[in-house]
Structures are given as structure tokens and as C-alpha cells.
Amino acid sequence: PADQGSLHRYFGQR
């Protein structure tokens, strides 16, 4: 089954 990555992988902290 596929893993669920978090949004931190794509969006940086501002």
C-alpha cells in the first residue's frame, strides 16, 4: 500500500 507523506515534504515553513 502507498504511504501518506506530510505536506512538509512540499511546502516550506514561512
Partner 1 sequence: LEARLEQAGVLKKVVDAIKDLVQDCNFDCNDSGIALQAMDNSHVALVSMLLKSEGFSPYRLDRNVALGVNLTSLTKVLRCAQNEDILTLKAEDAPDTLSLVFENAENDRISEYEIKLMDIDQEHLGIPETEYAAAISMPSAEFQRICRDLNQLSESVAIEASKEGVKFSCSGDIGSGSVTLRQHNNVDRPELSTKIELTEPVALTFSLKYLVNFCKASALSSVVTLSLSNEVPLLVEYAMGSGFVRFYLAPKIGE
Contact residues: partner 1, CB under 8 A:
1-14
- What's the closest the beta carbon of residue 8 comes to partner 1, in angstroms? 6
Instruction: Give me 13's grid cell.
Output: 515553513
CB of 3 to partner 1, least distance (A): 5
DSSP 1: -
Give me the amino acid identity at 6: S
C-alpha cell recorded at residue 7: 505536506
To partner 1, the closest distance from the beta carbon of 11 in angstroms equals 4
